[in-house]
Structure 1
């Protein structure tokens, strides 16, 4: 276990964390402001990835594909909110779960009908290829480092949006007392559509950027959605700050655990047993951390509304 390996895996965990934040930020805003459980959020992640891969292949430009991912995911989110989600706000959570699960099937089969069952591949843009020399003798992929920087920039931008703008004030007010801001003349339907489209765009951005690291395929959003729900439970439902810290915690714990836990167990067990037990424990590690946090903070780390 070398210092270079520790630094590299720490950065990998940070990269996973900021991607989870992009997913979880929209999810926690939607739940915090609208009180809606949206299982179809992972499908918007998939929409962003497919839009980026398709436009990049057609135009030869990853950057146009990235813009397309934001536009396509935001448009899909707005359309879904207006046509389906809007009818679910006054329904109980079971109806919301069933309806949004149905949307997963619609998105998956629609995507398979448009693009087929074979995965698409998205190339890393030439400007972001290669590796960056970091202290400790680490040569880290430039693209992964760029993902970390983009995620941190988006987190800072969301903080400014929520805390310093009129729209953010309305979002925070809508989370606290939606009837009151409606009585004050705010178009609550338009606000909900904007929040839903914003959350969808963030998920689409995450899907597009991760699409260059793995294949773009139908159903790619569901595993990430599970981790995003873990993030918002740990961070506190409705809290952007909680989503950010929870995402970093989950990303680091998951990545470091998968790499180093089997190595640590090797000192106590044989290599084969350590690999088997370490793999099993590392896959459960984030859920163990979540349970430990909820034992002391049942509402999560920052369950104080959107902030």
Structure 2
């Protein structure tokens, strides 16, 4: 493998890992703070991708405005879903949570089929993000993929700032560590849960919107990323944003280079990584970072 190919694979791994982080960060917040096993979280990634497909003709090449509009719509959807469904799952056993969220997967897939059909769709990147950056020789890397990685990094920084440097983040961390004590201090836990859930849905949908121009939009795409995101959450530690970031990048590199060097065994590479880390740190990476 020459230097240019190695660099391309590293960039692919970083982009994949950062997209995983956006989805997994919402999942780890919902799971760690609200205590709800949300099997429908991958569907929000799918909703974001189809939302990008539906909004693209309305905004033309205004990708940033399209992303902002999609995030707002996804947050509103998350707020309504928490109010209608998830607010009844707190304190229930995990079986009821699994059944409810699995039913939502079926509902989302049926609605997707009615609105968009079962064909594979695709959208093109705006003209200002078309083309590629030369990496030497005949090798180049798409400009849009660099934009996607940069956008994910900006969102990760903003998320870290909100969670660790704002009053809302303080309330989120308090609710995660001891919800009864937080409620006793006057924090509106129900409203806090709705904000957290809306943020988790928005993060997953944003990842789907960012990934849409560089990948196909197809039925069932949420189920594939959900499994990998659960791996990221387990490796990073439940409720840990920083742990999810490190775990997502690890999974991105292991999966990408596993497909390059060990194609026959690439399917088990990330699960082997999870097993090794859990043997070393059963609680995940959250206390290490």
- Report matched runs for 1:155-304 at 5 Å: 155-261=156-262, 278-279=263-264, 281-302=265-286
Separation of aligned partners in 2, 1:106 and 1:221: 13
**2:278–2:284 CA contact under 8 A, matched in 1:** yes
Moved more, 295-304 or 169-178: 295-304
Q: SS at the partner of 1:212? A: helix
Q: What whole-Å deviation, never above 9, does each CA across 1:94-148 have from its counterpart, x for those lacking one?
A: 1111110110001110111122222332111111111123479852111111111
Separation of aligned partners in 2, 1:137 and 1:117: 37
- Report matched runs for 1:52-131 at 5 Å: 52-61=52-61, 62-131=63-132
Partner of 2:50: 50
Count the aligned residue pairs.
Answer: 288
Give the TM-score taking structure 2 as reference length. Answer: 0.95
Separation of aligned partners in 1, 2:209 and 2:76: 15
Moved more, 135-144 or 185-194: 135-144
**1:234–1:293 CA contact under 8 A, matched in 2:** yes
Gaps of 5+ in 1: 262-277
Partner of 1:33: 33
Q: SS at the partner of 2:133? A: strand
Partner of 2:21: 21
Separation of aligned partners in 1, 2:114 and 2:18: 31
Separation of aligned partners in 2, 1:137 and 1:151: 28
Work out which of the two has the higher radius of gyration on C-alpha atoms and give 1 or 2: 1
C-alpha displacement of 1:69: 2.1
Partner of 2:155: 154
Gaps of 5+ in 2: none
C-alpha displacement of 1:80: 1.1
Partner of 1:265: none
Separation of aligned partners in 2, 1:33 and 1:133: 44
Separation of aligned partners in 1, 2:191 and 2:185: 14
Q: What whole-Å deviation, never above 9, does each CA across 1:180-228 have from its counterpart, x for those lacking one?
A: 1111111111100000011111101100111111222222111011111
